[in-house]
Structure 1
Amino acid sequence: MTDQYQRMADELAAAYRTRRPVAPPRTVIDGLDVDGAYRIQQLTEAAFTAAGQRIVGRKIGLTSAAMQQQLGVDSPDFGFFTQDMVHRAGEPIAADQFIAPRIEPELGFRLGSDLASNATFDDVVAAIDETYLAVEIIDSRVRDWDIRLVDTIADNASCGAVVIGGSPVDVPVDQLPSVAAAMRVDGELTGEGTGAAVMGHPLEPLVWLAGVLGEQGVTLRRGDLILTGSFCAAAPIAPGTVVEVDYGSLGTLTTSFT
């Protein structure tokens, strides 16, 4: 089984470079479960670090009912991203580096201290150093987005890249659930929602993540950037696409694709 996990991880890591999708992991490994899927993701992460990439953050996915319904799953998941997967708002991004990309509005949180595996909500609040407007570009190395929960977990929670606002925003913790985001793709409104769509509060997924990572022997560290989930369903992007996310009084995040 270990050899099967490694081969699957090698295929998924290669798909980032070649942009050639692979068969759904559940169809390759009989009886693949969540633990096995995370093992594949860990091996993929190890391949990135062995190639000199630095892991700088984590993304939590499937935290909203909209995304769970869109992808046909019923549980959150998480993945990693490297420094090369982080872009700043306003800088053009090459769309052809992805396979079938989609975009979704989120908030990003920079940790000012480590988070223990048994972190409480209050611990998470105390650990947050900075808050950023953000979008995640999700992408699937699995052919035709033919995914179930174990497939997206194995495939790094379908993480493609993240886009971060140029400077932190100032928003009180108790107001995070009421932060509103309206996403327009080429001027057309494609989705909107509030922070309450993210498990009731955008920081709640961080409590979940600290515990799940702790079970894997991984600690969230000071300086890590965490995206905690989408406010609404994702929208497809292509070369020439311009995305604007209006966060009301917090400002607008704009990104474009070449």
Structure 2
Amino acid sequence: MLISTKANRYANQLIDARAHAKLIPLLSDGGGLSARDGYDIGKRILDASIGQGETPIGRKLGFTNRTIWSKYGVTQAINAPIWAHVFDSTVRYAKDNRGIQSLDGASQPRIEPEVVFGLGATPAPDASIEELVECIEWMAHAFEIVVCPFRDWKFEAVDAIAAFGLHGTLIVGEPHVLSSATRRNLASMLANASVSLSCCTEDSVTLCGAGFGSDVLDSPVHALWHLHQELNSQPQFAPLQAGEIITTGTWTDAYPVQAGQTWVTAFSGIALPGLTVSFV
């Protein structure tokens, strides 16, 4: 476990890097850091963020998509999910599933198409996956803009955990309130759905990626279940609560974005509208 002064130093480095869009050396370069250390640093960042007036309103999951695990990690592939908080300052809603997003201050931004759940009830610590699904009030499609303070997106899992979980901005589309029947079948419905992700410029439209809900730990519902179980083993963090939003991880790889581009998604196999977001 990290000593307090070292954890505070790492947290301050990451907060400063985020505030000024700076690149910094890997925390893991010195060796000896574990995922637990990453969450210890993340807890200090959480406390500092709250102290600066930000309000945590949910969580983000990362690396839930098994198809991209082998693409990340320096000494070894990142082969397990991570999570971090999202804040009132980092989440926005896209009216009519369309939006404009500034990339000012975003370090090496990339885009990820995801599914977000809104919790209408607080799950019990020992809730089954069926009971957990009953706590979901709504779902929506979203883009997460992920950012990275480490050069060329090269890092270990502990670096990603500590660095805000690589969270930048969450752009949430129209929420859809779930019926009881939809909740019962939600895991399989999402597992069998697919999404396409395209980049549009003045000159071209390029299909950049496509993915299936089953790539996300077999279903975004199972990703939420993983987070619930993980939080049971991390008493330094609050468990899931009613009112939180949870974004469950990307359905494709993360793609670099630039000002002047418009990114568009379309779903198959599920009645979720796509998103259109232009970057400036």
Shared topology, TM-score over 0.5? yes
State, as a whole percentage, how many aligned pairs show the same letter.
Answer: 27
1:232 corresponds in structure 2 to: 252
1:200 corresponds in structure 2 to: 218
1:180 aligns with 2:194: yes
AA aligned opposite 1:244:
V
Deviation at 1:66, TM superposition (A): 2.4
Higher Cα radius of gyration? 2
Q: Please show how residues 142-181 of structure 1 align to structure 2 within 5 Å.
A: 142-168=150-176, 172-173=185-186, 174-181=188-195
Deviation at 1:185, TM superposition (A): 1.4
Distance 2:78 2:122 in 1: 30
Moved over 6 A (4+): none
Q: Which one is further off, 153-162 or 113-122? A: 113-122
Deviation at 1:59, TM superposition (A): 0.7
Distance 1:254 1:91 in 2: 6
For the 8 Å contact 1:77–1:157, the answer to whether it is kept is yes
1:22 corresponds in structure 2 to: 24
Stretches of structure 2 that go unaligned for 5 or more consecutive residues are none
Cα–Cα, structure 1 residues 241 and 169, in superposed 2: closer, same or farther, change >3 Å? farther
Per-residue Cα deviation, 1:93-112 (whole angstroms, up to 9, x for no partner): 11122010111111000001
User: What do you get for the CA RMSD once the two structures are aligned?
Assistant: 1.5
Q: Please show how residues 32-71 of structure 1 align to structure 2 within 5 Å.
A: 32-71=33-72
SS in 2 for 1:203: helix
For the 8 Å contact 1:181–1:245, the answer to whether it is kept is yes
Cα–Cα, structure 1 residues 46 and 107, in superposed 2: closer, same or farther, change >3 Å? same
Q: How many residues are treated as equivalent by the alignment? A: 257
Distance 2:23 2:231 in 1: 27
Q: Which one is further off, 186-195 or 211-220? A: 211-220
For the 8 Å contact 2:137–2:177, the answer to whether it is kept is no
AA aligned opposite 1:64:
N
AA aligned opposite 1:112:
G
Distance 1:34 1:47 in 2: 20
Per-residue Cα deviation, 1:61-98 (whole angstroms, up to 9, x for no partner): 11112231221311111111111111223231111220
TM-score, normalization: structure 1? 0.94
AA aligned opposite 1:97:
G
1:137 corresponds in structure 2 to: 145
Deviation at 1:169, TM superposition (A): 6.4
1:257 corresponds in structure 2 to: 279
Per-residue Cα deviation, 1:231-254 (whole angstroms, up to 9, x for no partner): 111111011121101123422211
For the 8 Å contact 2:138–2:175, the answer to whether it is kept is no
Distance 2:195 2:51 in 1: 37
Cα–Cα, structure 1 residues 67 and 118, in superposed 2: closer, same or farther, change >3 Å? farther
Distance 1:100 1:232 in 2: 18
AA aligned opposite 1:235:
Y
